[in-house]
Amino acid sequence: MAFDGCFVTGTDTGVGKTLVSAALLHTLTRHHRRVVGMKPVAAGLIEHQGQWVSEDVLALRAASTVSVPAELDNPVALPDAMAPHLAAERAGQAVTVAELLVAHRSLQALADAVVVEGAGGWRVPVNDHETLADLAQAIGAPVVLVVGLRLGCLNHALLSAEAIRADGLQLAGWVANAVDPDMVGRDDNIDTLRHWLQAPLLGSVPWQTPAPQASEIALDLPEAWR
């Protein structure tokens, strides 16, 4: 089956999923004319040009080559920066995987490749009985795991990879993101992850201040994605 997008997840919140998703979009534009990012559920909004929007969504839009309606690239936008199901409950809004999947299918009709960025880690609830992993399964796209390099990342990464595969999805690759400037043995941890994850390392994002621009991050795409 031809490549038409991927699902980006992380070992935790705050590990650089948006940065990597935007970098994937920039890299994909070298091979696909129409690429678009999607943040199915965004919790935590800022005021931007008179509208309330997620900073993550703005970053994905800036890296996309297709402009789409907000209800497609971010069907659920929740004011409070907290777990999606709690933010939805506080906003009095019901979120279902079915509605998110409808938006994704509409995006597929408008673009050659859709990069879907999850929220938090792999199994984050969106309601009382569904998680974003259920959405990833429904989409069926290959998964990219963003590993935040800090103490504890080995366990988080291996458990995430195990869950992704247990859900019947392909872990197409992973990206190492140096989120802790003081991490001891960073390169040793990357080597350990290379051994245990049994998936290609697509790229490594170094620690730097300010953070690198998504367009500056070189990612090595799987051959089938080109």
Q: Which residues are designated catalytic?
A: 39
* CB neighbour list of residue 120: distance below 8 Å, 6 or more residues apart: 10, 12, 13, 83, 84, 132
Alpha-carbon distance of 24 to 217, in angstroms, equals: 9
Apex CA 94: angle with CA 6 and CA 171, to 5°?
Answer: 20
On whether the CB atoms of residues 90 and 57 are closer than 8 A, the answer is no
Alpha-carbon distance of 146 to 148, in angstroms, equals: 6
On whether the CB atoms of residues 89 and 48 are closer than 8 A, the answer is no
